[in-house]
Amino acid sequence: QKEVEQNSGPLSVPEGAIASLNCTYSDRGSQSFFWYRQYSGKSPELIMFIYSNGDKEDGRFTAQLNKASQYVSLLIRDSQPSDSATYLCAVRGAGNMLTFGGGTRLMVKP
Amino acid sequence: SAVISQKPSRDICQRGTSLTIQCQVDSQVTMMFWYRQQPGQSLTLIATANQGSEATYESGFVIDKFPISRPNLTFSTLTVSNMSPEDSSIYLCSASGTANEKLFFGSGTQLSVL
């Protein structure tokens, strides 16, 4: 069974701090990795994707991938209350299907 | 990114009835999928909607319960048949240009079964 694991949280950070969200996966053949943000009552919105080892930055967001450790993370700098949401990690394996983690609920407190 | 329209956005249905959810993409896409998200849970893939052929269902999901159509490269429907309260969930349509591309989601259908 291919698994994607996330801490369910909630992860609480003060406004302006760095939020660090983590995800591990079991399928060593996984090729691509995605982070989705989901506000309560809304559908998931793609915010970052990463295919290669290392860091990928987009604005306040940085995705980090370590395939050897089967670990992917999302850093949110200068966290804002509007970043409060559930963040879903998704992994695409060799079969091209996306497997989603359970999500981490982030709360950014003013 | 593809724009995906899904309807209805929500519905309240009686036990034993069926509901068909429609998904329209603003451009031709290779891959279309249907997911379910139960309250407080993550996304579970129901099936891959294949254009012009039978859908590919994931373990635990069967065609009799969740018939899917995909008549062309921009449209798909999911029917939830003979509903029970356990089917109360959010149903999400998603699409990607190719098997390796990013996946985008429709706005979802909030289904409540009484």
* B1-13 tens-digit pLDDT: 778 999 999 999 9
How distant is the Cα of A40 from the closest Cα of chain B, in angstroms? 10
User: Does B100 contact A100 at a Cβ distance shorter than 8 Å?
Assistant: no
A95 pLDDT more than 80 = no
Task: State the average pLDDT over residues B78-99.
Answer: 92
Task: State the average pLDDT over residues B64-84.
Answer: 96
Instruction: Work out the number of other CB atoms within 10 angstroms of the CB of residue A40.
Output: 8
**A11, A65, A109 from A96: Cα distances, Å:** 30, 18, 38
Give the count of alpha carbons within 13 A of A98, CB side only. Answer: 35
Alpha-carbon distance of B4 to B24, in angstroms, equals 6
B56 contacts chain A (CB < 8 A): no
Q: Which residues of A touch B41 (CB under 8 A)?
A: 102
User: Does B102 contact A31 at a Cβ distance shorter than 8 Å?
Assistant: no
B98 pLDDT more than 80 = no
Q: What is the per-residue pLDDT for A2? A: 67
Alpha-carbon distance of B50 to B68, in angstroms, equals 9
- Predicted confidence (pLDDT) per residue in A32-64, tens digit: 999 999 999 899 999 999 999 999 999 999 999
Which of B7, B37, B38, B42 is the mutation pick for testing A, counting most A CBs within 10 A?
Answer: B42
B30 pLDDT more than 90 = no
Q: What is the per-residue pLDDT for B63? A: 97
Q: What is the per-residue pLDDT for B97? A: 78
Q: Which residues of B touch A49 (CB under 8 A)?
A: 102
Question: Mean pLDDT for chain A?
Answer: 93
User: Does A44 contact B45 at a Cβ distance shorter than 8 Å?
Assistant: no
Is B65 within 8 Å of B80 (Cβ atoms)? yes
User: Does A90 contact B92 at a Cβ distance shorter than 8 Å?
Assistant: no
Percent of chain B past pLDDT 70, that is, above it, reads 98
- Rounded to 10 degrees, what is the CA torsion of A44, A46, A52, A58? -140
How distant is the Cα of B104 from the closest Cα of chain A, in angstroms? 7
Alpha-carbon distance of B47 to B58, in angstroms, equals 6
Residue among B1, B102, B108 minimizing CB distance to A43: B108
Alpha-carbon distance of A11 to A45, in angstroms, equals 19
Task: State the average pLDDT over residues B60-74.
Answer: 96
What residues of chain A have any CB closer than 8 angstroms to a CB in chain B? 31-32, 34, 41-46, 49, 88, 90, 92, 96-98, 100-103
Residue A88, strand partner residues:
A36
Percent of chain B past pLDDT 90, that is, above it, reads 78
Of residues B18 and B101, more confidence is placed in B18
